[in-house]
Amino acid sequence: MIVMKHRRAGSCTGFSGDSAVVAYAELQVTTNFSFLRGGAHVEELVAQAKVLGLVALAVTDRNTLAGIVRAHTAAKEVGLKLIVGVRLDLEDAPSLLCFPRDRKAYGRLCRLLSVGQLRAQKGECTLFLDDVVQHAEGQIFVALAPGDWDWRTVNVAPAQHDAPCAAEIIPFASRQGLHDQTYKQPKPVGHEPQRKIGFEAHLHRMKAALKSTPIYLAASHIYCGDDRARIAALATLAEYCAMPLVAVGDVLYHTPDRRSLQDVLCCIREGTTIAEAGFSLEANAERHLKRAGEMARLFKGYEPALARTLEIAEACRFSLDELVYEYPAEPTPPGKSPQSHLEDLTWEGVRWRFPKGIPDKVHATLTRELALIDQLHYAPYFLTVHDIVNFARSRNILCQGRGSAANSAVCYCLGITAVNPAEIDLLFERFISPERKEPPDIDVDFEHERREEVIQYIYARYGRDRAGLTATVICYRARSAVRDVGKAMGLSEDTVSALAGMVWGTRSGGVLPEKHVREAGLDPADPLLATVLELTQELMGFPRHLSQHVGGFVLTRGPLVEVVPVGNAAMEDRTFIEWDKDDIAALGLLKVDVLGLGMLSCVHRAFDLIDTHYGRALTLANVPREDVDVYDMLCAADSIGVFQVESRAQMNMLPRLRPRTFYDLVIEVAIVRPGPIQGDMVHPYLRRRSGVEREHYPSPRPEHGPADELKDILGKTKGVPLFQEQAMRIAMVAARFSDADVNELRKAMATFRRRGTIGRLEKKMVSSMVARGYSEEFSQRCFNQIKGFGEYGFPESHAASFALLVYVSAWIKCHYPAVFAAALLNSQPMGFYAPAQIVRDAREHGVKALSADVNLSEWDSTLEPSGSDGSLALRLGLRQIDGLHVDEANRLCAAGRPFCDVHDLWMRAGVKLSTLEKLAAADAFRSMKLDRRQALWEVKALGAAEPLPLFTWSETREIGPEPNVALPAMSLSEHVVNDYQTLKLSLKAHPISFLREKLNARGVRVCDELRNTKDGAFVSIAGVVLVRQRPGSAKGVVFMTIEDETGVANTVVWPKTLERFRKVVMRARLIIIHGHIQRHEDIVHVVSERLEDRSDWLELLSDHAAGMKVPIANADEVLRPDPGSARSPIHTRLAGHPCKEHVIPKSRDFH
Amino acid sequence: MRRIVSVWFPLWQIERLRRAAPAAAPDDTALALVESGSHGIRITAVNAKAAADGVRVGQALADARAALPALASRPAEPHCDRAALLKLARWCGRYGPNRNVDGPDGIWIDITGVAHLYGGEERLLEDLSSRLSDFGLTARVGLSDTLGAAHALARFAVPPALALSGEAEARIAPLPVEALRLTPETASLLKRLGLRRIGQLYRLPRAALQRRFRSSAIAEAVLARLDQALGAKSEPCRPLTEPPALFVQRSWPDPLISAETLEAETAQLATELCAVLDARGLGARRICLSLYRADGTVADVSTGMSFPCREPEHLMALLKEKLGALDVGFGVDVLVLAAEHVERKDVHQTVLGHHLNGSVHADPALLVDRLTNRLGSARVSRLNARASHIPERAEVRTPALSECFRKKEATPSRRSGPPRPPFLLTAPEPIRVIADIPEGPPARFTWRRVDHRVVRAQGPERLAPEWWREIKTEKSRTRDYYRIEDEGGAGYWVFREGFYDRDEAPPRWFVHGLFG
């Protein structure tokens, strides 16, 4: 028993009581990590508990510890004792609160939850009392009465502690007591479905099973009318079962005003509306945190129950700080220390990387880095990453590291990265500093198609109990929040979609602007709508479910399941932990990011093709550097397909930035990002680079420090902060932020939307810089940039790793355009452009493109000699054909070509008729002198039945010869249309070329002419819409890229024009644009003034289309993120089918 | 040679809706009818305004909205569409007894040998078109020797789509192959082969065509459809039959005029109908008496019962009340009494209340029916439980004949908490109270000028207002309910509205209910 530290409450008739008199620790708190149950963030609950002066707060989510790290961090910040806990919902017994008393008990709790989660489906946890018993040592349990438990069924003696509420007024409860009944003996219950036994019986059973483990019985006062009677019943039960009664608040939110949101959450959970939810809703707003005094009043007469909360709080001494991390031992051979092994590997690597001798500078860097690694004991970390990379190399999987520690000389020598430290001057110390006690950060990108091999290797090497993927907490964002709240509030499906539809680009995170609400035909002044939007605002940022992180692995030396619960992922063969990367970082656990990158697959394919056809063995590290031709090409914005710099924004930047060295590419990659754009750093940098503006370093007033304090930080980027860490360093140097401040800033950057602490930091940084003599405008810009980085930060080392891929891919494109095109096509889907543009670009670079053919093509696009000079032409692969299955194509390729006719192919390759039809539709029988129509006719004649096995190899045909049927010839324009439908591109002609006459009549120019058109000239152009973009950084502006038979043109649609031509802009596939030319150096845009949707003209391309009623079917559109690119825009793409009547694939739209 | 008219209503769903509820389908706003499926909400029909704005059938509503935010939408009602089309087909019986619906938006009528009544086929089509147009329907008609050809002409030919006997082959030759009622896949395949018009199929060797388009479902095969259109192969056309509900009917050569005769005949019919129902173990939930007047119009009297009924007296009692008000015009020559909706009815004993056949029946349902029939369904209601924590909202009045009546098992119940009083005051009555603050139960209270001393109390049960119902109105206050008992043993349910410590306005006390 713990000595009571407080005096027993005397008279408690006061209003809220006096917290000085009594003390209380809240033991039952449901946060919003019990998805759709808790109505408050962990941080809010912790802060409120502190304000109310509670002694301690336990977080007890349902079968999960997902929110515990955040609670731990928040509690540490405000100085509140956090009790680590969980609410165990069991299959065969009432729920239990479980509080581990020490590290070992915590480990057992994690193991228990893992057992439950691994036996259930993703997101669920199936536990039985037996499991709890097996992991009970060291825990404290609190039994909870079920919600539907009827206390009247208990035989309650008039408890002596039951003090009357007021003089002479006796509660009704006392009438219920019946002394003479005996309790039923509890019966043992196995894992079979729960038999109907009463709560008391369960309590006896639990008490018996848990033996000496302390178990309490919880009582709460939630204003349901008969609370005191129920508490009295529980007190009696507690005495009878020898489970001391303990008071709990059964808290769902921090303050009463969260009731509405809690009600809405309940509706979302139950899939009902607020008007229909009825009794699933709570009757009142009492499930908030309460002061000790108030609890004392509610539990008057049960003071020991309050005191026991302190007893439990005192006994639970476990803190997450005790989770000391230990690196896995595997990568270190026995008998060697990790540091010495790392040094050996590094020097070994030096001989490999620098066969001609190591430069002095690199040698010095290596020595310094190794010393620092030794000092911080990071060697095992580097060894772990090296181990994974080594595996990838042994399997010939291309990979590259990035992240703060990745661009060190050590990593170069270990082969983790290919950025030569001699080429780029990155200070390792800047990323890993002894003051910042954070593990280093290395992410490794692998070929996206082969990443799973690496993941399974990690599982195999470290075991599933020691390796797990981290989680990503999927939170409500504006769109999902408004949808769910709207539905719960009973808005019609229409209104809900209208509201949700308005949220274009949810980055702003703010409330929906009134204008948008009105635009959707809704009245923003409507109180119901206002309430919906208010609740939406509250709901945004609430966790909705856990999902596996794309590739963040946590590895431990001991069992991972004793550090954090591990559960099943939705994907087969994947398990993931309950914590996300911020949680991992907060606890200092080791994480290795194993990511997939489409460009690496592409580069690998390109290297293989170059090796095969040109006999040149290339690696990321030995591609010739600083090639003038490559930079010339990039300066001309000739970058379709090149990693990272192929987007419209990057293509605009290239001619302005004019990269000439590798470091310029590093800047190029980093500059077109939300950070520098929001910080308005782009234009100053360009002006200084072109010499228009003097390089200038803002400085503090002399009394505050050296004038050139920023030159050290910003010297490399001409005085303009472009990289994430530059902005952080400015905060340290210019705003004199302490380490703690910087840490807070870094954390706020990652999570500022969730916590909203950024405002305070903003004030602090700006005022501090201004006080030291910097201009307010500069200070504000620096801070804005930090805010921008918060969303999509790019530190210098990341940029450097990416820049290498930019260079390598540009080099391949420059010197081996056919190889590059083939590799890109074979790595689809990835990047920004569709196959049509890739092939077109290759042809413009002098590559001869040949169509896919059953006799000549492989599955992948290939290179084949063509023409007299033996130069290599690009032969499109069968993979280009929509809907063709890879197994079928391989069967065809393996069957011994050439085939003499369709029947021969069918017989010998044994492919399905549907495959043949797809091949015919794609016009792949030209080598048999059959066009698509004739080929289809032939295929259709093969009959519905598959070839009989007996006749498979027989020479005789099952069907005799048939009369020649002359089908109507297909026009070229229709062939083109069909090509687009089945291959998404046509080598025969561009669809617009058939409409040129019509366009000429309207004075429409070709896109190619724009290059030589004067600034300000009025032009009309027409084309197929390739890309539509509405970037978040350019408010309300839509960028469109269109293409005709001569080239592409970029157009801008300003919001005013957009309002007028919204329908056209959003829907047109073929568009005519009238507007003025806007030239900026080499960049030409057409500023749209009038737009015409001429999609109907595309139908004219089909034979005899005019005058006929052609039904227009709609293709299904699928949403999927682009797995091949570093950013993950959601774009819509055509999941076409050869039979669909679409003429041109839908544009790629980026919001 | 048969002559078949095919009618196509290209805007059926919209126009049907407009006819049923003009306000629901305004012409001046873009409207789409939608259906939610596995791929989200899809558009199934659009009005002219929406079509002009580029909204297309089959599009996702979200996509259409992105381009046209003002697009209004309503859920499609395929069942209503179908039912209305059936009704219209029935009406078409005036042009020929053999007729039926054709797909979701068409009708066929066999007018063989009928046209002369209208002064020729052209006049018949004119008559049909103008009547349909008077109904507010856009209709395209085709007439040919076969259903296939007529169908094609109605939908694809330039009006007037009348093919004289034997002309069908020539008339449909220039039409697209879709006109042959092929599956979309088959039509698409033909077009991919360059065979876009029906005429192109005539020239092809039949064997070649057959090898490529033999289909397991013969109706889908190209040649079968072609032959049907050209009359080379007969197509079974199933004409509309009357609905299979139970009905009894009487007709007289001379129209009945007198109300008494009519009533007597109706009673006869009711007895017959009940006999039929009894024989099948059924009871009627809804009956309809149709009076076919001599001038060719029909008057209907229908009535519903809250229970399956086969007592002729009861049916008559219900019908009689409405029969008197009917105008029989020039007299009635056919009477049909139909049981439109029937349910199983097992025999059970009834007692109490209602005088029937000299015995006393107890079934209050009979009384409810009579009252509802007499006073109107809005005036006879019953109490149903409603899932609400707020006591006065926990019950709801619904019309006695409404569906809720039958769903007793769905009554919601509270999860926990003390019992509610059996008697609730219509409106809470204010009381004066002496109580502990902040949350003590009353120690004494004065209600209706009588003082009471409280000896037992339980509570509070805290009930917060239903905030979602007060978004647009004034907010009410949270209540704390107490169950109390005075010296005399009487139980009260009182509440305090508001808090002593939180609100500005002082709390008020009320008595809301009484315990026995």
SS (H, E, C) A261-298: HHHHHHHHHHCCCHHHHHHHCCCCCCCECCCHHHHHHH
CB contact under 8 A, A941 and B195: no
Whether residue A957 has pLDDT greater than 90: no
Contact assignment for A1139 to B188 by CB distance below 8 Å: yes
User: How near does any CA of chain A get to the CA of B396, in Å?
Assistant: 13
In whole angstroms, how far apart are CA A749 and each of A546, A587, A762, A788, A790?
A: 21, 18, 11, 9, 4
Are the beta carbons of A253 and A43 closer than 8 angstroms? no
pLDDT of residue A720: 81
> pLDDT tens for residues A1053-1108?
888 888 788 778 877 888 999 999 988 766 788 999 999 988 888 777 775 443 33
3-state SS class at A826? helix
Question: Contacts of residue A493 in chain B, CB cutoff 8 Å?
Answer: 36, 41
pLDDT of residue A1107: 33
- Amino acid, res. A315: A
The CA-atom distances, in angstroms, between A549 and each of A464, A567, A790, A1016, B350 are 16, 13, 19, 49, 69
Nearest CA in chain B to A502: B66
What is the Cα Rg of chain B in Å?
34
A990 secondary structure, DSSP code: -
DSSP string, A518-573: HHTT--TT-HHHHHHHHHHHHHTT-EEEEEEEEEEEEE-SS-GGGTS-EEE-SSTT
Q: Which residues of B touch A519 (CB under 8 A)?
A: 69
In single-letter form, the type of residue at position A876 comes to L
- Position A8 pLDDT exceeds 50: no
SS (H, E, C) A749-806: HHHHHHHCCHHHHHHHHHHHHHHCCCCHHHHHHHHHHHHHHHHHCCCHHHHHHHHHHH
Count CB-CB contacts under 10 A for residue B168.
21
Locate A147 and state its tokens: 């919600």
Confidence of residue B219 (pLDDT cuts 50, 70, 90): low
A728 touches A800 (CB < 8 A): no
Q: Count the residues in chain A.
A: 1151
For the residues A539-559, what does the mean pLDDT come to? 87
Q: Which residues does chain A have within 8 Å of residue B480's beta carbon, measured at their own beta carbons?
A: 223
Binning pLDDT at 50, 70 and 90, where does residue A506 land? very low
Q: Which chain A residues have a beta carbon less than 8 Å from that of B59?
A: 1114
Q: What is the model's pLDDT at position A992?
A: 87
Q: Please give the interface size between A and B, counted as residue pairs whose CB atoms are below 8 Å apart.
A: 205
Cβ contact A150–B416 (<8 Å): yes
- Reported as a single tens digit per residue, the pLDDT across A347-396 is 988 888 888 888 888 888 888 888 888 888 888 888 888 999 999 989 98
Which residues are B453's β-sheet partners? B444
Q: pLDDT for A1000-1052, tens place per residue?
A: 888 888 888 888 888 888 999 998 888 777 765 556 788 888 888 888 888 98
A163 close contact with B: CB closer than 8 A: no
Q: A-contacting residues of B 465-494, CB under 8 Å?
A: 467-469, 471-472, 478, 480-481, 483
Return mean pLDDT, chain B.
83
Q: Are strands A566-568 and A1130-1134 parallel, antiparallel or unpaired?
A: unpaired
- Inter-chain touch A229–B386, beta carbons under 8 Å: no
**Could you tell me which residues are beta bridge partners of residue A1020?**
A1074
ipTM score: 0.70
pLDDT of residue B410: 53
Strands (E) across A386-464 are located at: 399-402, 443-447
Measured between CB atoms, does A951 come within 8 Å of chain B? no
pLDDT digits (tens, 9 = 90+) for B298-320: 677 888 888 888 888 888 888 88
Residue A449 contacts B, CB cutoff 8 Å:
no
207-226 in A: which are within 8 Å (CB) of B?
A: 223-226
Mean pLDDT across chain A, nearest whole number?
A: 80
> Of the candidates B62, B208, B414, which has its C-beta nearest A965's C-beta?
B208
Bigger pLDDT: A365 vs A133: A133
Give the residue from chain A lying closest to B444, CA to CA.
A169
User: Which of B192, B436, B483 comes nearest A936 by C-beta?
Assistant: B192
Q: How far is B189 from chain A (nearest CA, A)?
A: 8
CB A508 within 8 A of CB A1032: yes
E runs forming strands in B183-330: 246-256, 282-293, 298-309
B63, B212, B458: residue with CB nearest A225: B458
Q: What is the torsional sign of CA B383, B387, B391, B393?
A: negative
Provide the strand spans (E) within B373-488.
381-385, 395-399, 423-435, 442-447, 450-463, 479-486
Instruction: Among A350-354, A1117-1121, B153-157, name the one with the lowest average pLDDT.
Output: A1117-1121
Give the torsion sign (CA, A375, A377, A381, A387). Answer: positive
Q: How many other C-beta atoms can be found within 10 angstroms of the C-beta atom of residue A66?
A: 26
B positions 98-157 inside 8 Å of A (CB): 156
Cα A8 to the center of its chain, rounded Å: 52
Could you read off the pLDDT of A809-856 as tens digits, one per residue? Answer: 999 999 999 999 999 999 887 777 888 888 988 988 888 889 899 888
Q: Indicate the residue type of B278.
A: D
Range list of H helices, A793-900: 796-815, 817-826, 835-844, 886-893
Q: Is the pLDDT of residue B223 over 50?
A: yes
* Chain A residues closer than 8 Å to B69 by CB: 498, 501, 519-521
Closest Cα in chain B, distance from residue A129 (Å): 26
State how far the Cα of B35 lies from the Cα of B29, in Å rounded to an integer.
Answer: 19
For residue A339, pLDDT beyond 60? yes
| Strands A245-248 and A467-475, sheet pairing | unpaired
Class of residue B305 by CB neighbours under 10 A (exposed 0-12, middle 13-18, buried 19+): buried
Decide: A1045 and A1051 in contact? Cβ < 8 Å.
Answer: no
CB contact under 8 A, A275 and B189: no
Distances in Å between the alpha carbon of A224 and those of A96, A228, A285? 22, 10, 11
Report whether B496 contacts B508 (CB < 8 A): yes
The answer to whether B67 contacts A1116, with C-beta atoms less than 8 Å apart, is no
Mean pLDDT of B466-479: 88
Q: Does A1118 touch chain B (CB under 8 A)?
A: no
A714-734 confidence digits (pLDDT tens): 888 888 878 877 777 788 888
- Region B263-279: what's the mean pLDDT? 89
CA A1143 to chain centre: 34
pLDDT at A39 over 60: yes
Q: Is the Cβ–Cβ distance between A470 and A553 less than 8 Å?
A: yes
Q: Is the pLDDT of residue A630 over 90?
A: yes
Residue A1032: its pLDDT value, please? 59
Q: Does A959 touch chain B (CB under 8 A)?
A: yes
Q: Please list every residue in chain A whose beta carbon sits closer than 8 Å to the beta carbon of residue B207.
A: 962-963
- SS3 of residue A124 by DSSP: coil
Residues of A in contact with B454 (CB under 8 A): 169
Which of A497, A914, A1143 is the best substitution to test chain B (most B C-beta atoms within 10 A)?
A497
Interface contact B407, partner A, CB < 8 A: no
Tokens, residue B352: 């109490």
How far CA B346 is from CA of A61, A335, B274, B279, B369, in Å, comes to 54, 90, 14, 12, 19
Q: Would you say the C-alpha torsion A922, A927, A928, A929 has a positive or negative sign?
A: positive
| Chain B residues near residue A274 by CB distance under 8 angstroms | 468
Angle at B21 between CA B16 and CA B27, to 5 degrees: 75
Q: Is A1076 exposed, middle or buried (0-12, 13-18, 19+ CB in 10 A)?
A: middle
Residues in a beta bridge with A1130 = A1121
User: Are B462 and A263 inside 8 Å of each other by CB?
Assistant: no
**What is the rounded distance in angstroms from the CA atom of residue A878 to the CA atom of residue A889?**
7
**Residue A784 to residue A679: CA distance in whole angstroms:** 5
Burial of residue A504, with CB atoms counted within 10 A of its CB: 0-12 exposed, 13-18 middle, 19 or more buried: middle
Q: Measured between CB atoms, does B188 come within 8 Å of chain A?
A: yes
